[in-house]
Structure 1
Amino acid sequence: MTATKGQRTDDSAVPESQTVDMAWDPITRIVGSLGIYTRIDFKQKEVVECHSTSSIFRGYSIFMKGKDPRDAHFITSRICGICGDNHATCSVYNQNMAYGVAPPHLGEWIINLGEAAEYMFDHNIFQENLVGVDYCEKMVRETNPGVLELANRTESPHAGDHGYKTIGDIMRSLNPLEGEFYREALQVSRWTREMFCLMEGRHVHPSTLYPGGVGTVATVQLFTDYLTRLMRYVEFMKRVVPMHDDLFDFFYEALPGYEKVGQRRVLLGCWGSLNDPEHCDFTYRNMASWGRKMFVTPGVVVDGKLVTNSLVDINLGIRILLGSSYYEDWEGREVFVTHDELGNPIDVRHPWNQHTIPRPQKRDFDDKYSWTMSPRWFDGADHLALDTGGGPIARLWSTALSGLVDCGYVKATGHSVQINLPRTALKPEVSFEWKIPRWSNALERNRARTYFQAYSAAVALYFVEQALAEIRAGRTKTWTPFKVPENAFSCGFTEAVRGVLSHHMVIRDGKIANYHPYPPTPWNGSVRDSFGTPGPYEDAVQNTPIFEENPPDNFKGIDIMRAVRSFDPCLPCGVHMFLGNGKVLEQVHSPAGLVTLAT
């Protein structure tokens, strides 16, 4: 963190005697390329300005060109060493559409089980071992000692469910490396990673996942091994949900007004996940229909209302704006797709038509300042800066409003999501209900992450049942053969751990002509766009009140960090290959032979 007084002198700034410019770069506990630059008014105790930066460029959309489309999922999985399987899965969905192929039912249930395990693994380790540190006893003692004193005197409403008598006890259990719950969560992450490997061979880059299905050898023993680990996780979640409810509810009570920390307008996007093989044929013409049959329902939620749950509408509305990012515009360059399969016009700023033209330059907060582009969703009138809230809050909100999911273990009601966890070794059957909250803020993003862990476990139970039914009926095929067409364009939609994930591909002469993956990071971490609209990190931090008790010269920025980390920020998927003052290699012929020159 750096702090300087009166660093900027623009006319719109509040008097410098009241403000301090502070930067956190890199943001800790994630890949170290996200920077948050703020101006804080300590007299009014609020953040008055925020810029989010990403210091790396990723060239996947460039070096995918000319590749064999069948390699796409192996290559794009390497975009991230955390959620690489989400990219591999989305790429496979994309290829399925291009090749006109759908996996056998058993193959799709296996993919769903792998993705559900990934949600459980990643959300658990982030919630308990990374973002949970923001609420642990050591952190609260450093930033809000008065709150810790109150926590030590406050009994936990659900102590009988999770075993921690006071809120202070919960905070102590979250202390890194020492806390009981912190250490337990690390052990749980091992179970979930093993669950994923059972389904797809390797974590985090699947080795048995292909277009048309999987190469996994499906047996009763395979699913039994998965189920034994899953049931341990189910029992774990029966403690975790009430524990986190107690913790987050306490912050609302202890710090009136804390709902404004990280709060922004409800502008949520969810692209849906976990396909139902009974309905999903991966065709574009039926995409709206089979998308609504997903076990996480796609949707765009604006001001708490469901605007659409059609994947076709979602696809048509995506726009890639450059704004304050380090790229040249591609206006006037080749247009790859003019209309979709249904005859709808495709905008030049749609991923199918994007050209990635990097232009490194000096950071300037009044002009260009980040490698992250600014994806927006166009509703016909406005380019909306959708966020995913870290993934779970958008998924649960969209699923709840649509009211389409009902598989016995989970049910969407139109205003909530009900989660039913069966009897386990030490605990009886338990039902939880995630209700649509009043705010999209830091605490509710974190709360939704806990509930979605339980949701993922519940639907995984259903997937195991369906997979075993396929095997017992003798339907053990897991892969369908296909042929790569000479020319095609396609898309894949799913939910990465942190939120929306889409892959768009154009094939010409049997090779990739254009390929653009759009994960949640460019949506959540986008910068001010061509219209001056700030990205979600920036928007959520600006106007965030400061509750920390430390003075400016010892300021930790905990409220700002809670706002940013509530999104589960992860920069690798955002933007690798910053060459700086690189060299150009030229090969020339001379009397002495072939010579390589560096310039």
Structure 2
Amino acid sequence: MTSVQDEKDTSRIVEMNWDPVTRIVGSLGIYTKIDFGAKRVVECHSTSSIFRGYSIFMRGKDPRDAHFITSRICGICGDNHATCSVYCQNMAYGVAPPHLGEWIINLGEAAEYMFDHNIFQENLVGVDYCAKMVGETNPGVLEQANRTEAPHAADHGYRTIGDIMRALNPLEGEFYKEALQVSRMTREMFCLMEGRHVHPSTLYPGGVGTVATVQLFTDYLTRLMRYVEFMKRVVPLHDDLFDFFYEAMPGYEEVGRRRIQLVCWGSLNNPEYCDFDYRTMEQWGRKMFVSPGIVVDGELVTNNLVDINLGIRILLGHSFYEDWEGMEKFVTHDALGNPVDARHPWNQHTIPRPAKRDFDDKYSWTMSPRWFDGTDYLACDTGGGPIARLWATALGGLVDIGGYVRSTGHSVEINLPRTVSKPAVTFEWKIPRWSNAIERNRARTYFQAYCAAAALHFVDKALAEVRAGNTRTWEPFQVPENAESVGFTEAVRGVLSHHMVIRDGKIANYHPYPPTPWNGSVRDVYGTPGPYEDAVQNTPIFEENPPDDFKGIDIMRAVRSFDPCLPCGVHMYLGGGRVIERMHTPGALGTIS
């Protein structure tokens, strides 16, 4: 390796890669160039090395099999896919479940959010903020944490921030182990409603096969109240931890920060309004218990699911596919007579063309979903799910869940009732100044409390149906010869849509779009980086000993804040790094490698 230096000004650019950062929909790789002189990431590419092909082998299948097949897309959030597929089928078949069936689905999905966000926050992303990790990467920060009193110690039981960090140490930390037990309990809650986790066995178009009894909902409620009590400690604990990072490392708000371009498709349907008819989707979409919405630069652009649907565009960019321009359009107009673009999922053709990875050309299997606002193709992200959901819900001001949850236009209020050892409490998630790593993680905690509060309302509603004798949970249906439909919901990590076209009673086109391609998309045809890439580029490096003993913790916090589908198997390849010498001369910027 040859070094070229200028005595006046020299900085060193080092290539460093993390591959794979494991997730379910493909294997995530993060390829960076870091300027250790400026302590900043100067370039990032996000790659996915696995092609799944669900959109290809769904063709010709019986539509009634769609939810069983697509739930296998993911081994973590498979129930979200099954739910979304069922919503999509309900629209195609013109069927709406009995109210009790929909309350059961909501209880199952709420339990899934509680389960998955808990295990990720405390047992996976939490490790990035534990004492062992902070001690290795920022020993000075750990020393400060040990001296800093926790403002909410009376609520969560840990005297200092250092005590919180030690409680998060993997396998041995007290809070780490407690969270594992909570995850078991919330998984049991899900199975009570939908039979099996993670591929539901009682979920069908038209409703569920769950036998609804007072005992069933009592068993769920018993576990839910224990979770409610747990959340009364978790919210103040994470507020203390995340606020400390801002205080201990001024400028830390820049880690993982990107322009606010958040998308939420809404979730948890209100059966009193939702009939799954596309023509009334604008109305029943706004009645969801988590509001849909597109938020750009802090402003709510729309919460109309019809507009959201029509604005989706699938751009190929630097991905391993051939364009389908000029090929058959399956859908020219929607049920309301609106024209449908050729790059909409209803009209997408998936034509894989593998190639050698080349960051100047094609480098990933992930396409580039964008939302078209009429002028620009926005590289929107989900922020890992909760921050987009809370932001859209807060701005929408449409939600009031039985007094348990209320959106105010600028915040979300969450009311948790009295439990065995703790009084009733109210938490308020307020719209933050930034969409960054810390705020994505903070929102995840608040959304857990949101789901717990909402589930209390769903239990109330389900029990009222059973006590009134309304125990039917499924409605029969007929499969049409031809139909176009869409299912919208929120997977744990963010937006999830299933678009289906039926011709001659069979699936002619089917495209599921989970949060992974939105967050992990590659540079599109306009050169716009995807959200992972954008969030990592320009992220400052706060680690105290780079580049000799560099772990890339700030980069990993930025990526993991998006919850890239359980990144628990991170393998880091450095190989000492490949050094590119950049020589700066007065009045010019040149690169010599």
Given the two structures, how large is their TM-score scaled by the length of structure 1? 0.92
The CA distance in 2 between the partners of 1:523 and 1:571, in whole Å, is 16
Secondary structure of residue in 1 paired with 2:21: coil
- 1:356 Cα offset (Å): 0.4
Return 5+ residue gaps in structure 2 as ranges. 4-8, 568-593
1:11 is matched with which residue? none
Shift of 1:310: 0.3
Question: What corresponds to 1:422 in structure 2?
Answer: 417
Partner of 2:241: 247
Taking the TM superposition and a 5 Å limit, the aligned residue runs for 1:418-567 are: 418-567=413-562
Match of 1:37 among 31, 34, 48: 31
Runs of 4+ with >2 A deviation: 28-32
Q: Which runs of 5+ in 1 are unaligned?
A: 7-14, 573-599
CA contact (8 A) 2:118 2:183 kept: yes
Aligned AA (1:163): G
Map 1:67-146 to 2 at 5 A.
67-146=61-140
Q: Indicate if the aligned counterparts of 2:314 and 2:368 stay in contact, CA closer than 8 A.
A: yes
The residue matched to 2:471 in structure 1 has which SS? coil
- Give 1:342-357 correspondences, 5 Å limit: 342-357=336-351
CA contact (8 A) 1:391 1:496 kept: yes
Cα deviations by residue, 1:313-333 (Å, 9 ceiling, x for unpaired): 000000000000000001111
Supply the distance in 1 between the matched residues of 2:361 and 2:264 (Cα, whole angstroms): 30
CA distance in 1, matches of 2:230, 2:267: 24
CA contact (8 A) 1:5 1:16 kept: no
Q: Percent identical across equivalent pairs?
A: 86
Contact 1:409-1:458 at 8 Å conserved across structures = yes
Instruction: Answer whether contact 2:11 2:35 (CA < 8 A) is retained.
Output: no
Give the distance between the partners of 1:271 and 1:465, measured in 2 at CA: 25
> 1:582 maps to which residue?
none
Amino acid at match of 1:544: T
Amino acid in structure 2 at the alignment position of 1:538 = E
Preserved CA contact (<8 Å) 2:415 2:424: yes
Name the CA distance, whole Å, in 1 between partners of 2:103 and 2:331: 33
Instruction: Give the equivalent residue in structure 2 for 1:300.
Output: 294
Separation in structure 2 between the aligned mates of residue 32 and residue 149 of structure 1, nearest angstrom: 39
Offset of residue 391 of structure 1: 0.0
- Write the letter of the residue equivalent to 1:329: D
> Corresponding residue for 2:270?
276
Residue 554 of structure 1 and its aligned partner are, at CA, apart by 1.2
Residue matched to 1:323? 317
Where 1:23 maps in the other structure, the secondary structure is strand
Alignment match, 2:583 = none
Paired with 2:546 and 2:335, the residues of 1 have a C-alpha distance of: 59
Does structure 1 residue 232 correspond to structure 2 residue 199?
no
Give the CA deviation at 1:144.
Answer: 0.1
In the alignment, structure 1 residue 264 sits paired with structure 2 residue 258: yes
In the TM superposition, 1:374-393 aligns within 5 A as 374-393=368-387
Number of residues of Structure 1 aligned to a counterpart in Structure 2: 562
Q: Which residue of 1 aligns with 2:43?
A: 49
Give the drift of 1:32: 7.7
Distance across 2 between alignment mates of 1:545 and 1:411: 36
Counterpart amino acid of residue 384 in structure 1: L
1:192 matches 2:149 = no
Contact residue 169 and residue 176 of structure 2 kept, 8 A:
yes
User: Alpha carbons of 1:345 and 1:222: their partners in 2 closer, same or farther (altered >3 Å)?
Assistant: same
Residue of structure 1 equivalent to 2:20: 26
Task: For residue 58 of structure 1, report the CA deviation from its aligned partner.
Answer: 1.1
3-state SS, counterpart of residue 357 of structure 2: coil
Separation in 2, partners of 1:102, 1:327:
37
Closer, same or farther: CA 52–29 of 1 in aligned 2, 3 Å: closer
Task: Name the CA distance, whole Å, in 1 between partners of 2:301 and 2:346.
Answer: 23
Cα distance in 2, alignment partners of residues 5 and 508 from structure 1: 63
Q: Aligned partners of 2:372, 2:295: CA distance in 1, in Å?
A: 13
TM superposition shift of 1:18: 1.5
CA gap of 1:349–1:571, structure 2 versus 1, over 3 A, is: farther
**CA–CA separation in structure 1 for the residues paired with 2:27 and 2:319:** 15
Instruction: Give yes or no for the alignment of 1:152 onto 2:153.
Output: no
What does residue 177 of structure 2 align with? 183
